[in-house]
């Protein structure tokens, strides 16, 4: 998914990765990380921190990236988050500024929020109410040498799409199996869909192979929440939107992708909200904490098991040789 470019390293990692509880945040009841359920039911995320005596924030609104907001302030018992964006005037086609104000009130670990956008002419639109819940502190970093795995679970039989379901039944299905390869082929003018496993998982190790096509832009969603990026980025500078990144959250430590058309190996481990990604034999994300859902997640609730889902709504992509081993608690 390539909708917004930012390689910023987001905050709260040091504090929350240490496993401190939410009670540490004494300055404001709004500091911390919040899982959002947006007005349309989609998954979102809000992070608030204090830096130099001033509140700052970043937000994920459905798809795309985690991005900084313009302003964060608390008035009485109410949080206000200001976002600025651009929109085309339908009459003049000129870009005009849109100001969105999100207000929130906390009751313990729960948020009640509302949003409204204001056009340059002062007209309000896109009003909506939604909810949020404080995200629990990230557990301590797991010792992966002591993690035990169960027997492999078959998620792709190499013959057909048994065990996989198109996530939106109204979408065009570009997925098929050819010579043991799970491939997606898109056609101009059609809206192609993502697919997911019927089975759901908690923590696991997942191995697979992928082959990019021209301008490939896909993703492997872990538990339907966290996207490991799959993209044709060979030869490009390191970025949190490149091959193997946790989309817009964790930038690979090295560029390990191969050239277009070559089969590439992924070895992905998710344990206690910590992610390890080995791409083509190179560890590019090393047991790092995951601070929240990524764009396109089916839920912002990180406590739930979920499917493996593959993004197919953008471009052509090939997958094969899946092997998933669940963690044994």
Give residue limits of the domains in the chain.
21-134, 144-326
**Residue 216 half-sphere exposure, CB side, CA atoms within 13 Å?**
30
What is the sign, positive or negative, of the torsion defined by CA atoms of 294, 158, 312, 304?
A: negative
Q: Classify residue 77 as exposed, middle or buried by CB count within 10 Å of its CB (0-12, 13-18, 19+).
A: exposed
Cα gap 294→270, rounded to integer Å: 15
Query: What is residue 93's predicted lDDT score, i.e. its pLDDT?
Result: 83
Nearest to 81 by CA among 122, 120, 34: 34
Nearest to 97 by CA among 119, 69, 71, 70: 119
Cα gap 167→211, rounded to integer Å: 22
Q: Edge-to-edge, what's the strand order for the sheet holding 54-61?
A: 67-68, 54-61, 43-51, 32-37, 124-134, 110-118, 95-107, 78-88, 71-75
Residue with tokens 């709504």: 313
Q: Phi and psi dihedrals of 216, rounded to 5?
A: -55, 140
Query: What is residue 179's predicted lDDT score, i.e. its pLDDT?
Result: 97
For the chain, how are helix, strand and coil distributed in percent, rounded to 5? 5, 45, 50
What number does CATH give the domain 144-326?
2.60.120.560
Residues 185, 188, 189, 195, Cα dihedral to 10°: 20
Q: Provide the phi-psi class of 279: left if phi over 0, else alpha when psi is between -120 and 50, else beta.
A: beta
Q: Residue length, the chain?
A: 329
Q: What is the mean pLDDT of each run of 10 residues along the chain (329 residues)?
A: 40 39 56 97 97 94 97 96 89 89 97 96 94 98 98 97 97 97 95 97 98 95 98 97 98 98 98 98 98 98 98 96 96
Tokens of 270: 């998710």
Residues 229, 304, 135, 107, Cα dihedral to 10°: 140
Tokens of 28: 């404001």
Tokens of 67: 């991005």
Tokens of 299: 């839920």
For domain 21-134, the question of CATH label 2.60.120 is answered with no
Residue 145's SS3 state is helix
Query: What is residue 27's predicted lDDT score, i.e. its pLDDT?
Result: 57
Cα gap 13→6, rounded to integer Å: 17
Query: What is residue 3's predicted lDDT score, i.e. its pLDDT?
Result: 42
pLDDT in tens, 39-87: 999 999 999 999 998 999 999 999 999 999 999 999 999 999 999 998 8
Contact 266, 279 (CB under 8 A): yes
């Amino acid at each position: 998914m390539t909708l917004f470019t930012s390689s910023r390293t987001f905050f709260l990692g040091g504090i929350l990765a240490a496993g401190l509880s939410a009670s540490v945040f004494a300055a404001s009841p709004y500091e911390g990380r919040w899982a959002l359920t947006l007005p349309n039911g989609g998954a979102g995320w809000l992070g608030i921190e204090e830096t130099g005596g001033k509140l700052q924030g970043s937000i994920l609104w459905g798809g795309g990236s985690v991005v900084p907001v313009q302003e964060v302030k608390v008035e009485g018992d109410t949080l206000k988050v200001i976002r600025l964006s651009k929109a085309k005037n339908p009459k003049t086609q000129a870009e005009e500024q849109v100001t969105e104000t999100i207000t929130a009130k906390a009751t313990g670990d729960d948020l009640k929020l509302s949003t409204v956008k204001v056009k340059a002419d002062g007209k309000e639109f896109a009003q909506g109410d939604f909810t949020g819940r404080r995200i629990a502190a990230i557990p301590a970093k797991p010792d992966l040498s002591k993690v035990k795995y169960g027997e492999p679970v078959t998620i792709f039989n190499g013959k057909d799409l048994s065990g996989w379901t198109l996530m939106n039944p109204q979408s065009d299905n570009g997925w098929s199996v050819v010579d043991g390869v799970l491939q997606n082929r898109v056609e101009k003018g059609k809206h192609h869909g993502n697919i997911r496993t019927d089975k759901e998982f908690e923590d696991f190790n997942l191995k697979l192979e992928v082959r990019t096509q021209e301008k490939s832009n896909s993703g492997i969603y872990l538990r339907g929440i966290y996207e490991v990026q799959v993209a044709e980025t060979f030869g490009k500078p390191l970025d949190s939107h490149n091959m193997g990144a946790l989309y817009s959250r964790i930038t690979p430590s090295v560029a390990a992708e191969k050239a277009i058309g070559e089969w590439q190996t992924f070895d992905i481990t998710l344990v206690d909200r910590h992610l390890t990604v080995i791409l083509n034999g190179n560890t590019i994300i090393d047991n790092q904490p995951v601070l929240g859902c990524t764009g396109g997640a089916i839920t912002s609730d990180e406590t739930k098991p979920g499917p493996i889902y593959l993004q197919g709504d953008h471009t052509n992509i090939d997958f094969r040789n899946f092997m998933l081993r669940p963690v044994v608690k």
